[in-house]
Structures are given as C-alpha cells and as structure tokens.
Amino acid sequence: MGTPAAAQRLLLGDGGSHRPTLLANAHHRCLGSHRALPYSADRGKKSVNRQTLDDLKQQIPLMVYLQAHDWQPARPLSRGRWMGLCPLHGDHKPSFLVDPNKDLFFCYGCGRGGDVIRFAELYHQVKFSQALTLLRQWRGAAPLLQEAARFYGMQLHRHNEAIAYLYQRGIRSLELIEHMRIGYAPGGCLRGWLTQLGHSWPALRQAGLVTGVGYDAYVRRIVFPLEDNLYGRSLSTSAPPHRFLPGSKGGLYGWTQARSHPEVILVEGLFDYAVLWQAGFQNVTCSLGTHLNARQFRQLCDGPRTVYVIFDADPNGSGQQAAQCLSQRLRERGIPVRTVSLPDGHDPNSFFVQGGDARQFQSLLEAAHP
C-alpha cells in the first residue's frame, strides 16, 4: 500500500490494466467509477460483507468525516466537487479533490484516493480492519461529541467564571475562541440536554460524558474539542487539572494547518497552542502532553520540516528531559530539531501571559540550539 500506482489500481478496481491519466483540469477517472472498490482485506485474510461496508459508508458521508478531521474546502469546482489542501501529505496548494456526491476523494499531489474507509486507513495509518473499527467507533460517538461540544460552546459566554479564566490564561480574542471551538462545562446540565435530543443514557455513559451514577463527567471545566475526544481543563484546584474522555487523544492538534509550514512549533498544552496562535504563529501544533503517541510521532516525521520543541521548563526538569528524548528520536528519523529554552519556570502560555510578545518569542526561536 502507499504507492500512487497501487492506490490508483485500487481505485480503478481493474488490477492496473489501465493507466490513469492525471490531467490538472480534468477530474480523475476514479471519481467517475461506479465499480466496487477492492479493499486491502480482499488480498488477505478475512472478507468483509459488502453490504456492511456500504451501510457504514452511507452512515458516514466522506465530507462530514473530512470536516470533522479539520479539513476545509478551499474552492468549489463544477458538479458540487471541492478542492482543498491534502490532509495526507504536506500540501502547499490545494490538490485534494472531493466529490461529495460520489463520496470519493483523490489527491493530485500524492496520488492517493478512494472512499471514506480508504481515507481512514491512510489518515490514521492503520490497516483496513482497524479503519473499520475506528469508523464504527466514530459513527457511535461522533454525533454525541459534536452535540456536547456545541452545548459547551453555548455555555461559555453564559459563565463569567469561564471567561475570566480564559482571560487570565491569555485567551482574549473571539477569533481564537471560535478557531479552537472553546466551550465550558458548568456541570449538571449536559445529560438533560442530550437526553432531550434523543440520545440514550447508555450511549452517554459509553462516551464517558456522564458518570456511572448519572452526573456530568465534566464539571467546571474549559472544554476543547479534539478530533475524536474532548479535553477538559478544570477551573477548580481540588479536581484533577487535565481530563480526556475515554479513548485516544488523537493526532497532533491543529496539524492540518501546521503541517504545510517548513518549520513547526511543537508545544505540550492547548493553552500554549492558544497564545501562540493568537500571537500570529500559525505553524504551531500541540501534542497534549509530553508523551507523543505513535501517530503523533509519525505525523511529525511525514515530511521535510524543522521541528521546534518547546515543552514546559519544569522545576524538576521533566519537561526538558522529555524534549531531549523526543529530539533524539526525531533526529534518528532525519528530522532537524531545535529545542527552545524558555526563562526558568515558564511555559509558552505563562511567557505570553506575563507580557512576552511575538517578537520576543521569535528571538527565542532564533536562539534555539540544534
């Protein structure tokens, strides 16, 4: 898998007997193909019922899935099709074509294309059967998470304590709040809202949105929607500060936007991400902790770029140690790395909150050592 030729063969479903022509102004022939698409499972072990696959694809329109994973259409084409930056490779000008009517995509840059299942395989870098599992989980939890995120978003401006907290953490622009879809969980009213919308209590429990005894899981927390999860930062000092719902924290935050830059700034927390984005650094991404999961690590390595690692300058040195360790691993993969030193005891968030500005931060980047 992975070579453009193999992908085209899959798309064409003809075993490669035709050579597809890629004309910049013509849509790829795969988008006109009504033939059944062969999947990687066909080559191997266990065959999957075609009807099951068709049902799954019908329930998850490609466009909905793409947009839930941060993809944005850049310009419309004829017949309802769209072009945008490719989420599968470091794309600089839109080369990713989506046909919502046929639920198919094709990238003129990396030559890959297919349906929503193929997209999940490539995007999450998993095998066919795992892609199906991810899609099924997403189908079950995504509408709920989106609804919960919408609810939390509506609550934010109704609670002064939430706005005051954001202000204190340096989050001051409405544009940023909208960009990150920041919300607030006051606690005690999400369950009622979601059940009223017809979601069942077992579904809420399974998604981790309510506890076993029926209370909202997130109480007095600032909420940041992630691709398949919700991160909650507690306002209360008596609760654990950081929480995720059950399941993976997902890939790097804001990666679709960051990845197209030749230099990427990696921070550990969403409040660090927020102040940097607000200060105009659009090449920032966040690993949600100092430990990168396998997918996040692969994302950093998926193209030529320099990575600036800025973890917290913890008094016990754990942030710096994690940064060193990650830098070493990235170098072994041929990725140029700079570790950025902040003044003692600072993280990027506190640096900006305490008066640091974009120009000063830029000089820290320039002073970073390889």
For Zn ion, the closer of residues 12 and 110 by Cβ is: 110
Least Cβ distance, residue 96 to Zn ion (angstroms): 6
Contact yes or no for 60/41 (Cβ under 8 A): no
Q: What does the DSSP assignment read for 211-277? A: -TTS-BS--SEEEEE-SS-EEEEESSTTS-SEEE-SS---S-BTHHHHTTSSEEEEESSHHHHHHHH
User: Least distance (Å) from Zn ion to the CB of residue 119?
Assistant: 11
Closest CA to 246 of 292, 198, 283, 209: 209
Please, which residue, 194 or 264, has the CB nearer to Zn ion?
A: 264
Residue 106 beta carbon to Zn ion: minimum distance, rounded to whole angstroms: 9
Which residue, 31 or 141, is less far from Zn ion as judged by CB?
31
Among 109, 153, 303, 336, binds Zn ion (CB under 5 A): 109
- Kindly state whether residue 89 participates in binding Zn ion, applying the rule CB under 5 A: yes
Taking the C-alpha atoms of residue 5 and residue 370, their distance in angstroms, rounded to an integer, is 38
Shortest distance, CB of residue 325 to Zn ion, whole angstroms? 31
Please give the residues from 151 up to 210 whose contact with Zn ion meets the rule CB under 5 A. Answer: none
The answer to whether 230 touches 242, Cβ cutoff 8 Å, is no
Report, in Å, the least distance between residue 89 CB and Zn ion. Answer: 4
Residue of the chain from 107, 149, 245, 309 that contacts Zn ion (CB under 5 A)? 107
How far apart are CB 90 and Zn ion at their closest, in Å?
9
Interface stretch with Zn ion, choices 106-114, 134-142, 196-204, 235-243 (CB under 5 A): 106-114
Comparison of 89 and 305: residue with beta carbon closer to Zn ion: 89
With tokens 């990725």, the residue in question is 335
Based on CB atoms, which residue is closest to Zn ion, 122 or 322?
122
110 near Zn ion, judged by CB under 5 A: yes
For Zn ion, which stretch binds (CB under 5 A), given 100-108, 237-245, 269-277, 312-320? 100-108
Burial (CB < 10 A; 0-12, 13-18, 19+), residue 35, is exposed
Instruction: Round to whole Å and give the CA distance between 283 and 47.
Output: 42
**Rounded CA separation 322/10 (Å):** 41
Instruction: List 284's β-bridge partners, or say none.
Output: 265
Give the number of other Cβ atoms within 10 Å of residue 5's Cβ. 11
Q: How far apart are CA 190 and CA 336, in angstroms?
A: 45
Contact between 292 and Zn ion per CB under 5 A: no
CA distance linking residue 212 with residue 98, whole number of Å: 41
Q: State the number of binding residues for Zn ion (CB under 5 A).
A: 6
Pick the stretch among 32-40, 104-112, 226-234, 337-345 that binds Zn ion (CB under 5 A): 104-112
CB of 81 to Zn ion, least distance (A): 16
- If one asks whether residue 88 binds Zn ion (CB under 5 A), the answer comes out as yes
Tell me how far, at minimum, the Cβ of 109 lies from Zn ion, in Å.
4
Q: Which is nearer to Zn ion, 112 or 169 (CB)?
A: 112
Candidate ranges 33-41, 47-55, 105-113, 349-357; the one touching Zn ion (CB under 5 A): 105-113
Residue 28 contacts Zn ion per CB under 5 A: no
Q: In terms of CB distance, is 105 or 231 closer to Zn ion?
A: 105
Strands 284-286 and 263-267: parallel
The residue (of 26 and 213) whose beta carbon lies closer to Zn ion is 26
Farthest-apart Cα atoms in the chain, separation: 65
Nearer to Zn ion, 88 or 235 (CB): 88
> Rounded to 5 degrees, what angle do the CA atoms 289, 295, 296 make?
40
Three-state DSSP string of 320-365? HHHHHHHHHHHHHCCCCEEECCCCCCCCHHHHHHCCCCHHHHHHHH
Is the CB of 147 or the CB of 302 nearer to Zn ion? 302
Q: Which amino acid belongs to residue 126?
A: V
Residues that bind Zn ion (CB under 5 A): 86, 88-89, 107, 109-110
